[in-house]
Amino acid sequence: METIDTLKIKNHKTRIFKNRDLSIELNCHGNNEYIKVSYPVKYGLFSRLETKNHIFEFNLNHELRHAKSKKKAWIHPSEWLKRTMGNDWIYYSTGGYSGVYEALGEYYLPNLMYPTNSLLGGKPFKENEIDIIVKNWHQIIAQLPDTGLPDPISRWIWAIKQQTPKGLHKKAQKLFDISGSRVTVMPPDARHVDYNIIPLNISDGCLYKCRFCKVKNKKKFSIRSNHNINNQIKHLKQLYDKDLVNFNALFLGEHDALNAPCELILDTVQHAYDAFEFQSSVMKKSFLFIFGSVDSFLNADKILFETLNRLPFQTFINIGLESYDQATLDLLGKPLTPKKVAHAFKKIQAINNTASNIEISCNFVMDETLSNAHYTALMTLVRESVNKTKPKGCIYLSPLKFGSPSRQVLYDFYKLKSLSRFPTFLYLIQRL
Ligand code: SF4
C-alpha cells in the first residue's frame, strides 16, 4: 500500500520543458529534510523557471519564492534571494570568509532589507543585479510567451503571471490579519527550518515590557480563546493552500506563549499538527517553536515538558534571560533578579539533559557599553556551571543595537563563544 507521503509527491509529477529561450521544470523535488551544508540547497516541492539571465523558483501556489541572476555581475553564483511569506526579500550570502557558520550556526547569512541587530554582512540590496530582480521580477516574467507551448507549461506560465507583486503584498497582509499582527521577531532556533514556519497565536503580549526591547508591543499579556485559535488554523490552511505540504514547522506566538495554560498549549499543538497535516508533509520531521519568559518557564509544570517530549515534534523553547548581573538587568529594564535567572538556567539544563525531543535555548544581550560584571556573570553560567562541553541548549547572544555592525562586538562574541561550554551563536532578529 502506498503511504500518504508518496501519494502527495505523486500528485505532483515532474515535467521538464526546454526551448531556445527558457527552461522550465515543474514540481522539482528538493531536499526533504533541513540540513546544514555549505552549498545552496532547496527544500520541498517547487517549480523552476530559467531564462537567459535569471533563475526563478515558485511554490505550489505559483508564488515566487527564490530568485537569482546568472549574470557575471551577480555577487556569487551560490547566493540567492528568498521572498518570505511576509513578502520580504532576504539575500542569502556566503559571507565571504567572515565565519558565518561559527557566528550563526548556519552556512548562509541572511541579509535583511530592514534594520536589525546583525553584526555581519554588507549591503547587497544596493547591488544592481539584486535591485533588478527585487524591482522588476514580475515584468521579466510578464514578457514570457504563454501560448504555443505544451498545455501544462502554458497554464503554469499563465498562473505565475497572475501572482503579481501587488497580490503577494496583499497576501502577506492577509497572513498578518489572521492573527491580528505581524510576527516581529522569530525564535532564533527557527534557523533550523530556514524560518519556514506557520505562525499561530495562542496569546498576545508579554509579561515584562523590558525597556531595552525593540520588538515588544503595547499589548498586556492575554490568552486567545479556543474559537479564535480554531479560526486562525482554518484561515492559515486556506492561505498556505497547496503549498502547505512544504511546511513542517509551527510557531506558537506571540512573545510568551509558554505563559498560556498547559492544556491550551498541548491541545493547540495537537490540533495544528492534525489540521496542517504535518504527518504527511513532504518535509521530514515536525518542529515546534515557542518563546518563553523566566517566570512562565519557572511556573510551567513538569507535565508540560513530559507531554511535549512525547509529541511528534522536535520542540525548541527560547527563553530571554538577558543577563545574570543585577545592575545590567536594571539597566535593561528587565524585572528579574540573578537568583531567578540562575534558577531558570538550572531548570533549562535539567530539561535539556533528559528530554530528547526538547531543546531549550536562552538569550543574553551583548553591547560595548555593558559592564564587565555582565560578561563575568555570564561566564559563571555558560562556563563555570558545567564541567564539560554540552551538545545542546544553545546560548544566543543578541547585540543590543540595531543597524550598527561593530567589529568590537563581533570580536567580543567570538571570545565569549570560545569560552562557553554550550553551542553559542549570535541571535539575528528577523520578522516573518
Ligand atoms: S524581551 Fe521579551 S519580555 Fe521583554 S519586552 Fe521584549 S518580548 Fe517582552
Mean pLDDT of successive 10-residue stretches along the chain, which has 432 residues: 48 85 94 92 95 96 97 93 97 81 92 88 90 97 86 93 97 96 96 97 94 88 97 98 97 96 97 97 97 98 97 97 97 97 98 97 95 96 95 96 84 94 96 96
Query: Residue 222 Cα, ligand 1 centroid: separation in angstroms?
Result: 14
The response to whether residue 400 sits with its C-beta less than 6 Å from ligand 1 reads no
Q: Indicate whether residue 429 lines ligand 1 (CB < 6 A).
A: no
**Atom of ligand 1 minimally distant from the CA of 293:** 3
72 CB-near residues (< 8 Å, 6+ apart): none
The pLDDT value recorded for residue 55 is 97
Q: Delimit the domains of the chain by residue range.
A: 4-164, 180-426
Q: What does each C-alpha distance from 98 to 75, 76, 104, 169 come to in angstroms?
A: 16, 15, 11, 34
- CB of 216 within 6 A of ligand 1: the answer is yes
Distance 369 CA to ligand 1 centre (A): 20
What is the model's pLDDT at position 3?
46
Residue with the smallest CA separation from ligand 1 atom 5 is 209
Contact between 29 and 41 (Cβ < 8 Å) = no
Residue minimizing CA distance to atom 3 of ligand 1: 208
Q: Whose CA is nearest to atom 1 of ligand 1?
A: 213
Give this prediction's pTM.
0.94
65 Cβ below 6 A of ligand 1 = no
How much distance in Å is there from the Cα of 212 to the middle of ligand 1?
8
CA of 197 to the centre of ligand 1 (A): 21
Pick the CATH number of 180-426 from 2.40.50.100, 3.40.50.720, 3.30.1360.120, 3.80.30.20: 3.80.30.20
Residues 129 and 165: their CA atoms lie apart, in Å, by 18
**3-state secondary structure labels for all residues of 110-169:** EEECCCCCCCCCCCHHHCHHHHHHHHHHHHHHHCCCCCCCCHHHHHHHHHHHHCCHHHHH
Cβ atoms of 351 and 305 within 8 Å: the answer is yes
